[in-house]
Amino acid sequence: MGLEDQAAVKRVADEHGNGVVVLLGTPDAESTQTLAQTVVAGDPSYAGPLAGVPLGLPVFHVFEPEVRDQVPVEVYEAQVALMEMSLDRDAILAGLREARRAAATTS
């Protein structure tokens, strides 16, 4: 997540507080973990506006059943299905689970 994106997420979280949920469409487990950690516990590289700023935002991935069930089937098929078939869905979701576990142990 770039510095401008971090600043935008921080601004939205400051303005809307607990009403903000992060939805990822990341392509691999590593980027999923890094982005989830950034919006939950702060920028792990300590380089951006979220360095040391734990927003504690809930994070989901578009591949999760809870998300998929909220999207009309035709929209999911048109916008996400091909990505889901071509990427390692299980590894991505495992990366998100790991980020959530890490966040829970540091809270």
User: What does the DSSP assignment read for 51-97?
Assistant: TT------EEETTSHHHHTTS-HHHHHHHTHHHHHHS-HHHHHHHHH
Map out the domains of the chain as residue ranges.
3-106
Looking at residue 49, the DSSP 8-state letter turns out to be T
CA 69 from centroid of its chain's CA atoms: 18
The pLDDT tens digits for 3-35 are: 999 999 999 999 998 789 999 999 999 999 999
pLDDT tens string 28-61: 999 999 999 999 989 888 888 999 899 999 999 9
CA 17 to mean position of chain CA atoms: 17
Interatomic CA distance for residues 98 and 74, integer angstroms? 30
